[in-house]
């Protein structure tokens, strides 16, 4: 990739506006409701298991091309960080989450961030872990396009679509309210690149208790940092892709990770790093909203791959058209390398983890 191409990509990977931070994002009852939902509806799977089926898909979603060792497996990214959804595609999966999905404060923040007339709340998810290392060099949250989103498209393809710049006409404006509940002071911060990955990063330092950022993470590289005491960041022995997180039976303030019915790690609530992600689509005016609702100009996977293949040819990239571009590892790897630029630096307080 030429330096000019890298600069072009870096300038594209910037949010519509600088992230805005707020304190006391959740009320005490809302925070209690989140913990209760996690406790009652678990166990919960690893993020890695939920969204990725190959190393190439992970790399296409994160930044920086291949890991340091090109021969590593998907196990390289195995980390005890778990995820669950409370709402998706604008529908609450649990009635108790409805006050959070329609929280007026979040709606107002999203509307102000984009200068939009309309906002449409879409999703609530959480990420939770105990002390752990971060292997994430930086990533985008799942962008959304008319006709294609997380419900029907792999994360890796959505990420490549945004990075390519070919599909801006169809891109849906997204505002996210990301809130952390982490009392620790060792790691656990948030690194982000609001001026593009070739520019200097910024950082929200711990502790991050009930602190929120309103942002467009679908357009900005960011990463959760390693968290907890360094001597406790190693993966618990026995961690696998099928490990789960849930409440311990003996007390509501204890949590555990299980593998094959065996407890491999235990945490108190105060040891957790909990992130709650709320997002909404934003529409500047009625015409913008109507175009989306009427599906008059939606993308399809066939059209996406036609445009990507045409662009690769225009860039004189050598490749063979695969029979199944959605699942072909070599083609996914090619797209990841063509439409990517890695962050040029990391905060000294939160360096990139080296295995």
pLDDT in tens, 120-157: 999 999 999 999 999 889 999 999 999 999 889 999 99
What are the sequence ranges of the domains in the chain? 3-338
Q: Which band of pLDDT confidence, cut at 50, 70 and 90, is reported for residue 61?
A: confident
CA distance 334 to 316: 13
Length of the chain: 355
CA distance 179 to 63: 23
Q: What is the pLDDT of residue 135?
A: 87
Both structure tokens of 62:
């994160």
Distance of CA 309 to the CA centre of its chain: 26
pLDDT beyond 60 at 66: no
What are residue 98's phi and psi, to 5 degrees? -60, -40
Cis peptide bond upstream of 227, omega within 30: no
- pLDDT for 70-107, tens place per residue? 566 777 788 999 999 999 999 999 999 999 999 999 99
Q: What is the pLDDT of residue 44?
A: 98
Q: Which band of pLDDT confidence, cut at 50, 70 and 90, is reported for residue 352?
A: confident
Both structure tokens of 127:
């990420």
Superfamily of domain covering 3-338: q2cbj1_9rhob like domain (2.60.120.620)
Give the Cβ contact number of residue 325 at 10 Å. 19
Give the Cβ contact number of residue 165 at 10 Å. 15
- pLDDT for 274-306, tens place per residue? 999 999 999 999 999 999 999 989 999 999 999
Q: What is the pLDDT of residue 110?
A: 98
Q: What is the pLDDT of residue 162?
A: 95
pLDDT beyond 90 at 56: no
The residue-averaged pLDDT of 33-39 equals 97
- pLDDT for 230-287, tens place per residue? 999 999 999 999 999 999 988 888 999 999 999 999 999 999 999 999 999 999 999 9
Q: What is the pLDDT of residue 249?
A: 86
CA distance 275 to 30: 13
Q: Is 285 left (phi over 0), alpha (psi -120 to 50) or beta?
A: beta
pLDDT beyond 80 at 163: yes
pLDDT beyond 80 at 63: no
Residues 6+ apart with CB under 8 A from 54: 74, 329, 332
- pLDDT for 175-234, tens place per residue? 999 999 999 999 999 999 999 999 999 999 999 999 999 999 999 999 999 999 999 999
Q: What is the pLDDT of residue 211?
A: 98
The pTM score is: 0.92
pLDDT beyond 70 at 1: no
Q: Which band of pLDDT confidence, cut at 50, 70 and 90, is reported for residue 354?
A: low
Q: Which band of pLDDT confidence, cut at 50, 70 and 90, is reported for residue 355?
A: low
pLDDT beyond 70 at 158: yes
The residue-averaged pLDDT of 315-344 equals 92
């Amino acid at each position: 990739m030429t330096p000019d191409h890298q600069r072009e990509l870096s300038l594209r990977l910037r949010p519509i506006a600088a992230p805005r931070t707020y304190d006391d994002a959740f009320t005490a009852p809302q925070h209690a409701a989140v913990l209760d939902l996690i406790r009652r509806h678990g166990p919960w799977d690893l993020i890695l298991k939920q969204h990725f089926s190959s190393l190439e898909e992970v790399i296409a979603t994160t930044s920086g091309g291949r890991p340091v060792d090109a021969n590593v497996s998907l196990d390289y990214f195995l980390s005890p960080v778990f995820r669950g959804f409370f709402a998706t595609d604008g529908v609450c999966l649990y009635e108790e989450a409805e006050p959070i999905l329609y929280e007026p404060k979040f709606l107002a923040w999203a509307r102000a961030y984009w200068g939009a007339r309309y906002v449409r709340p879409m999703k609530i998810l959480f990420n939770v872990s105990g002390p752990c290392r971060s292997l994430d060099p930086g990533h985008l949250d799942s962008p959304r396009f008319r006709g294609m989103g997380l419900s029907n498209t792999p994360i890796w393809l959505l990420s490549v679509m945004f990075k390519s710049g070919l599909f801006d006409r169809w891109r849906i404006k997204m505002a996210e309210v990301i809130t952390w509940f982490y009392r620790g002071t060792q790691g656990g911060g948030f690194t982000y690149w609001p001026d593009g990955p070739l520019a200097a990063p910024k950082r929200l330092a711990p502790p991050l208790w009930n602190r929120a950022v309103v942002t467009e993470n679908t357009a900005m590289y960011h990463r959760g940092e390693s968290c907890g005491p360094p001597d406790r960041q190693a993966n618990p022995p026995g961690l696998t892709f099928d490990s789960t997180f849930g409440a311990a039976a003996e007390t509501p303030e204890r949590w555990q990770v299980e593998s094959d019915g065996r407890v491999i790690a235990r945490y108190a609530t105060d040891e957790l790093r909990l992130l709650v992600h709320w997002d909404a689509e934003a529409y500047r005016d009625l015409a913008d909203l109507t175009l989306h609702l009427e599906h008059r100009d939606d993308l399809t996977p066939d059209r996406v791959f036609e445009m990507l293949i045409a662009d690769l040819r225009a860039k004189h990239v050598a490749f063979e058209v695969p029979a199944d571009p959605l699942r072909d590892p070599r083609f996914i790897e090619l797209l990841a390398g063509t439409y990517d630029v890695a962050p040029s630096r990391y905060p000294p307080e939160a360096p990139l983890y080296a295995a």
